[in-house]
Amino acid sequence: MPTLFQINVTCNWGSTGRIAEEIGQVAIQQGWDSYIAYGRGKPVSKSHLIRIGNDWDMYEHGLETRIFDNHGLASRRATRKLIRQIEEIRPDIIHLHNIHGYYINYQILFDYLAKREIPVVWTLHDCWTFTGHCAHFALAGCYQWKNEECLHCKYKKSYPASLFLSRAHRNFLEKKMAFTAPKNVTIVTVSHWLEELVKQSFLSCHQVKTINNGIDTQIFAPKQNIREVRKKMGVCQPYMLLGVASVWEASKGIFDFVKLRSLLPCDQYAIVMVGVDDKTAKDLPKDIVIVKRTNNVEELAEIYSAADVFLNPTWQDSFPTTNLEAMACGTPVVTYCTGGSPESLTTETGKVVAQGDLAALVSGVEEICQKGKEAYVAACRQRAVENYNKEDRYMDYIKLYQKNAEG
């Protein structure tokens, strides 16, 4: 029986944690033995679980990051213990996800991977791997990594935050040395946009391919109780515009929603924002409908279905699954041309407008509403089911494991 060993900061919670768990479940169904090593939380899993370090290790890693800006270089003892466990299990494939998150020492891990030559699949969900500091750099407009510099980090107080020192250039060089050492590595990106960035980075020495994120297209499907859902939220206008985020901040377009509220008549368009916490709610206009974060995916699918347009004015994103969820529920999407966000759309499923162009955003909304949501439902649903069903995307990983293990 072949053995899969995944490493991620979380397991079975958070976006990447759920992906790792569900890949493990599909692997088990396909006859693999599955292990997941994780950094935090107390997950329940169908796979064998290995906790990397403990809470104290994580706090110590966070402290080193805050003071010295050496994220990914602490957790030495925990990483050495993990390597001993990998040696005992002797997996056929090691699948890395997010190796940032205050839980693992990438130098120790990659030194081991280079020596053992175990086939590695590495899914990149963001850009931390090939920059000197940032997980996302688009909002800061910083492209120093392309010149292999990262000399003066504008974003050092963003995740993973350093409050004092900036060692971005040294981080960049150390990452390059570590991440290019193993030779049997396949980089998987979640969007073609991210794939192109990787090919411009020092990671271009590895094979690179794209496997999009997937969603549960059975849960995220058009619902029929639209009137009840709207009534429950207090929406009585002819058109409902929707935004969804786990955390609302500038990069997710919160200020664009605020501006948009003043550009669209309140008697015609309701704006609903899902995932707003109490602190953020105080700063939003009173005529924006606020829905707190929900972990009930059935309820979320009902809200998607009730909307006429899903708005995603994101300023940095690798491949937002919210676009996919909305389309699976039959709701067209209007998004900025940001990162991998436009890749999931066609002219039949929504509109892509220039980043920050509120006039174009309004025009896109008005065009879809005038045409009528019903003109988009079938195409949205078809595109989501045919391209972004999560079981299909996870099988892409199983095929990649089999290919790499054989050869």
Whether residue 220 lies inside any domain: the answer is: no
| Domain count along the chain | 2
Same domain, 307 and 356: yes
- 219 domain residue, yes or no: no
Query: Are residue 122 and residue 160 in the same domain, yes or no?
Result: yes
Q: How far apart are CA 76 and CA 106, in angstroms?
A: 9
Same domain, residue pair 12 and 103 = yes
Residue 176 within a domain = yes
Domain assignment of residue 87, yes or no:
yes
- Residues contacting 175, CB < 8 A, separation 6+: 72, 106, 129, 130, 132
Do 302 and 352 sit in the same domain of this protein?
Answer: yes
Strand 207-210 vs strand 93-96: parallel, antiparallel, or unpaired? unpaired
What does pTM read for this prediction?
Answer: 0.94
Amino acid 54: pLDDT: 96
**Same domain membership, residue 194 and residue 310:** no
- DSSP class of residue 221? S
Question: What span, in angstroms and rounded, lies between the C-alpha atoms of 264 and 288?
Answer: 12
Distance CA 285, CA 306 (A): 22
Q: Are residues 204 and 308 in the same domain?
A: no
Same domain, 52 and 182: yes
Clarify whether residues 401 and 262 are in a common domain: no
In a domain, 324, yes or no: yes
Tell me the angle at which helices 358-371 and 254-263 cross, rounded to the nearest 10 degrees: 60
pLDDT tens-place values along the chain, 407 residues long: 999 999 999 999 989 999 999 999 999 999 999 999 999 999 999 999 999 999 999 999 999 999 999 999 999 999 999 999 999 999 999 999 999 999 999 999 999 999 998 999 999 999 999 998 888 887 777 888 887 778 777 778 888 888 888 888 999 999 999 999 999 999 999 999 999 999 999 999 999 999 999 999 999 999 999 999 999 999 999 999 999 999 999 999 999 999 999 999 999 999 999 999 999 999 899 999 999 988 789 999 999 999 999 999 999 999 999 999 999 999 999 999 999 999 999 999 999 999 999 999 999 999 999 999 999 999 999 999 999 999 999 999 999 999 998 87
Residue 297 belongs to a domain: yes
Q: Are 230 and 355 members of one domain?
A: yes
Whether residue 301 sits in one domain with residue 209: no
How confident is the model at residue 164, as a pLDDT? 83
Q: Please check whether residues 244 and 352 belong to one and the same domain.
A: yes
Domain limits at 164?
3-214+390-406
The answer to whether residue 368 is domain-embedded is yes
H/E segment holding residue 311: strand 309-312
pLDDT score of 312: 98
CATH code assigned at 345: 3.40.50.2000
DSSP-assigned letters across all residues of 78-117: HHHHHHHHHHHH--SEEEE----SSS--HHHHHHHHHHH-
Would 221 be classed as within a structural domain? no
pLDDT reported for residue 158: 84
Gyration radius (Cα) of the chain, Å = 22
Does residue 100 sit in the same domain as residue 166? Answer: yes
